[in-house]
Amino acid sequence: MRLKRVPNLVYSDGNGNIYDVPEIEMAGRSGFDFVRINPDDLIELPEGSQLFELPMRKPIGFDRKTGKKVIFEDGWAVAAFLAPAHTQFFLSAYEKQNNAPVLPLFAYTAVGWLDGKFYVPAIRIDPDIRQDCDQFDQNLVAKNVYKKFKQFPKNRLIRHLGENCALRYLCPAARNYFLGRWEAPIPTSPGCNANCIGCISFQPQEAGIPSTQDRLTFIPTVDEILEVAVPHLENAPKPVVSFGQGCEGEPLLVWEVIRDAIKEIRRKTKRGIININTNASKPDAIEELCKAGLNSVRVSMNSAIPEIYHRYYRPNNYSFDDVVESIKVARKFNCWVSINYFVFPGMTDWVEEYQAMRNLIRETNISMIQWRNFNIDPDWYLELIGIDKDTKKLGVKNVMKLLKEEFPHLAYGYFNPPLEVMRKYVNLKPIVSK
């Protein structure tokens, strides 16, 4: 149901308490701009989301009587970190104070309060429930972790997925693996060939922010991979196994191991989807993986503009042209290709960015865009990337609409889809699925 008015601005008192200001309506942020929110763009704060206090940042809203922008001086700004499957339209609006610390690597969505509920400018972009918080029984996860440890006592990969991912970080993908369902992660590479500003598994000390998780420290063997992948593909509902995870570097650096693993997996089972999440830096490696039996490729991308891409990824020995070529290679082999698109309001919806994404879709014939919120301090990112403050913006919601109108075959979502979802959009090469 449409809200009758824009929710109230909210602030934190610095002690974990959040209050609202009825005289001031919440605002959103798009790049450097502060904008009024349309009630049609708001949804209730999704279950499983978190609220963050933003230290040394004064919240910004609009006076309900005058309509003028207001900086609220008596508390700190608040942002929402949205539950998976949801995509933001606007960032939290605030004025940063001098010497404010860099925010850790999360996404910071605008949030307001009205009639006893929090609201956010966002959309549920994927109906898949695989990472909804009400789908997890952590006691059962822990029980199954230790059961797997007993079953495979020498498997380092299973131990990493259990101790580090499922129990320490509560990784939804790892927990789903131990619950025997949907998408299972297969991290493989401790090294990387990019130096992403917002890398979640490695941050240099001088960056001043922690990585959100520790990186894998070993390369699993083919046998270790098989012990994870084969039973999962054979027994899980809507099964997917994915190389390339947040707790590792770039999987294409160990593509030979992955190639051999894929071949062995497909000798043992034809069921399910084998996916790789990657920076797509090595077209030749992508080709070899496709020949081995890879079904799906997800390519991470902050921007379809090469210069902006390079400023964020800071690649070693590859370029944006290699990324584009990898996508073309994967599509040549009829692989499903998704863009893992880092949504940053004020940049994702630039006119120039929109045009660049249109051109990329036309040139490569990608299958899907996964609209994922960009986990990064907005000011830090804008400063390091060097953004033109005067660039015209279309709005994230509008960009979604325009691209869908022009490319109706394009799937939208948040997760790597199982075969059942892929078949709704394209006819893939034959894959046996129970």
The tens digit of pLDDT for each residue in 302-332 reads 999 999 999 999 999 999 999 999 999 999 9
Please state the rounded mean pLDDT for residues 370-381.
97
Please give the residue that has the higher pLDDT: either 4 or 121: 121
Among 90, 124, 158, where does a domain finish?
A: 124
Query: Of all residues in the chain, what percent carry a pLDDT higher than 90?
Result: 87
pTM for this structure? 0.95
Residues 119 and 153 in one domain: no
Determine contact, residues 294/244, Cβ cutoff 8 Å.
Answer: no
Residues 249 and 337 in one domain: yes
Looking at the domain assignment, is residue 136 inside a domain? no
Residue 432's pLDDT is: 36
Beta strand ranges found along 203-272 (DSSP E): 240-243
The H or E element containing residue 413 is: strand 411-413
**Shortest CA distance to 315 belongs to which of 334, 330, 296, 301?**
301
CA gap 410, 415 in Å, rounded: 14
Residues 47 and 190 in one domain: no
Residue 105 has pLDDT above 80, yes or no: yes
Looking at the domain assignment, is residue 406 inside a domain? yes
Residues 254 and 403 in one domain: yes
Determine contact, residues 373/198, Cβ cutoff 8 Å.
Answer: no
The tens digit of pLDDT for each residue in 37-49 reads 999 999 999 999 9
CA gap 200, 215 in Å, rounded: 9
The tens digit of pLDDT for each residue in 328-365 reads 999 999 999 999 999 999 999 999 999 999 999 999 99
CA gap 200, 185 in Å, rounded: 16
Please state the rounded mean pLDDT for residues 125-142.
97
Reduced to 3 states (helix: H, G, I; strand: E, B; else coil), residue 164 is helix
Residue 393 has pLDDT above 50, yes or no: yes
Residues 287 and 402 in one domain: yes
Looking at the domain assignment, is residue 104 inside a domain? yes
Beta strand ranges found along 245-294 (DSSP E): 273-278
The tens digit of pLDDT for each residue in 397-417 reads 999 999 999 999 999 999 999
Residue 213's pLDDT is: 75
Lowest model confidence (mean pLDDT) among 63-77, 165-179, 250-264, 376-390: 376-390
Among 74, 90, 124, where does a domain finish?
A: 124
Residues 107 and 156 in one domain: no
Residues 176 and 246 in one domain: yes
**Shortest CA distance to 374 belongs to which of 123, 164, 88?**
88
CA gap 434, 428 in Å, rounded: 16
Residue 73's pLDDT is: 96
Q: How many domains does the chain have?
A: 2
- As given in the structure block, the two tokens for residue 5 are 């008015």
How far CA 429 is from CA of 295, 306, 328, in Å, comes to: 9, 32, 16
The tens digit of pLDDT for each residue in 240-288 reads 999 999 888 899 999 999 999 999 999 999 999 999 999 999 999 999 9
Residue 116's pLDDT is: 97
Determine contact, residues 59/94, Cβ cutoff 8 Å.
Answer: yes
Hey, what amino acid is at 296?
Answer: S
- Structural domain span for residue 84: 8-124
Looking at the domain assignment, is residue 409 inside a domain? yes
For every residue of 57-118, DSSP letters joined together read EEEEEEETTT--EEE--SSBEEEEEPPTTEEESSEEPEEEPTTPPPPPSS--B--EEETTEE
Looking at the domain assignment, is residue 273 inside a domain? yes
Q: Assign 113 a pLDDT band (cuts: 50, 70, 90).
A: very high
Residues 49 and 189 in one domain: no
Residues 78 and 183 in one domain: no
